[in-house]
Structure 1
Amino acid sequence: MPVRILIADDNSFIREGMKIILSSYSDFEVVATVENGAEAVEYCLAHEVDIALLDIRMPVMNGVEATRSIAEKTKTKPFILTTFDDDEYILDAIQAGARGYLLKNNEPDRIRDAIRSVVAEHRVFQDVVLDKLKTTLTQSPGAAPSTAEKPASSSIPAEETASPASVKADSDSKIDRSLFTERELEVMALIARGLSNKEISKKLYISEGTVANYITSVLNKTALEHRTQIAIYYLTGSLRSEDE
């Protein structure tokens, strides 16, 4: 059975052009083209769609809002295909449930391969998108040097066990919460919000070294390599992302 694809874009030229391109692949079937996020959600609720290709800026309902509704209410995999690589859009889209984020300036074969990867249960984020996300998470005001992630010691001191009421791990997060302590979950949640080690230490009333130790503990438990991957994991529940 071919992959059933919906295309949502308020530019009719792009909609029809993308339809022609994707329809040229024998394993793809473009089942609908719509001009806004609300129409995309409505169609996915009423029909079986494998992939919803969504632009970010659309009237009535934008791509991020459509992604959230489609991810929550249907089995369709939302995939952002846009000209916008602004940091705020990337983070919002991933948090909303986007399974992929590519820019429209990619070659058709790259878009084709990305769609196939998402169908195969991978997540696909373009290199430039991952770089911008990493910048967002590591270059926020007051960001500590990357070396701060190295543990100051091999143990995690029991500092300030009571957490501020304003800092709580997101109960809707898709990760396996049983793997982590409550403090680790709080640190992960703040990383996903783009806070630096210094900012996290102020939020939780612990030292930056202790924050680094919690991050190291999370990395060890998940086999992830850096805080950007922690953020993506916390937001999506996925321990791997395909950027090819």
Structure 2
Amino acid sequence: MIFITIAEDHIALSDGLKVFLEQDTDIEVLGTAQNGKDMLELLEYLKPQVVLTDINMPDMNGVELCKAIKSKYDIKVIALSMFDNSGAINEMVQAGADGYILKISPLTELKKAIVEVVAGNNYYDSAIDMNLINENSEQQPEKKLSRSETDILKLIAQGKTSAEIAKERQTAVSTVAKHRKNMIHKLSLAGKNELYKYALQRYSHYSN
């Protein structure tokens, strides 16, 4: 028997996944949560072999959840997401995810992933070109950015203004403006509009 929990903020999808997976008599869904924070609380007393997680969730997203799980438990993590861009996939891979499945793929693909990761293998959606993903990962220009700049880039992807970013990070607007200017220079971009487009391309899974 394979025991699973699901972190997904859309209840209808979570319920649908549970019904589909439990058609297989070898799979049981122990519980569901609508965000990463609630899932971590579930894991304190549930002992699944696999956690299926969306990436874009409130309170704690799938990347943060995956990192937290891998730091504390011997549990497999499979990302189940709409995002097939290299930024989203690489972030989950670097967080320690054992698999990555697109929501638009047949659910039979998800079952294959579950079986493979439980067997100790990694499994990525057949629609994903992992050679391209790995190549992009090695050449990511974000490696030039500081941790603060990367965090701000993610907030820019959410469409937040410098004032909103400054308030969230409890810093001065001038400091955020300086980080923006530095990022434009480091990434060889033409200006703030290109920075926003770049942020969306790399971190669209952080947008609301």
Supply the distance in 2 between the matched residues of 1:21 and 1:75 (Cα, whole angstroms): 25
Deviation of the 1:138 alpha carbon: 6.5
1:14-93 to 2 correspondence within 5 Å?
Answer: 14-93=13-92
Deviation of the 1:135 alpha carbon: 4.7
1:1-244 to 2 correspondence within 5 Å?
Answer: 2-127=1-126, 128=128, 130-137=130-137
The structure carrying a bigger helix percent of its residues is: 2
The normalised TM-score by structure 1 is 0.54
Deviation of the 1:46 alpha carbon: 2.3
Amino-acid identity (%): 33
Q: Secondary structure at the match of 2:79?
A: strand
Supply the distance in 1 between the matched residues of 2:84 and 2:98 (Cα, whole angstroms): 16
Matched length? 140
After superposition, the Cα gap between the structure-2 partners of 1:39 and 1:140, relative to the gap in structure 1 and judged at 3 Å, is closer
Supply the distance in 2 between the matched residues of 1:100 and 1:50 (Cα, whole angstroms): 13
In structure 1, runs of 5+ residues without a counterpart are 142-244
Q: Runs (4+) of structure 1 moved beyond 6 Å?
A: none
Supply the distance in 2 between the matched residues of 1:132 and 1:105 (Cα, whole angstroms): 20
Which of structures 1 and 2 has the bigger CA Rg? 1
Residues 130-173 of structure 1: CA deviation (Å, up to 9, x unaligned): 154135147657xxxxxxxxxxxxxxxxxxxxxxxxxxxxxxxx
Residue 182 of structure 2: aligned partner = none
After superposition, the Cα gap between the structure-2 partners of 1:134 and 1:37, relative to the gap in structure 1 and judged at 3 Å, is same
Q: Which letter does structure 2 place at the counterpart of 1:102?
A: I
The normalised TM-score by structure 2 is 0.63
Contact 1:81–1:104 (Cα < 8 Å) also in 2: yes
Pairwise CA RMSD: 1.7
In structure 2, runs of 5+ residues without a counterpart are 142-208
Deviation of the 1:20 alpha carbon: 0.6
Deviation of the 1:42 alpha carbon: 1.7
Deviation of the 1:69 alpha carbon: 0.5
Contact 1:45–1:73 (Cα < 8 Å) also in 2: no
Residue 194 of structure 2: aligned partner = none
Contact 2:7–2:52 (Cα < 8 Å) also in 1: yes
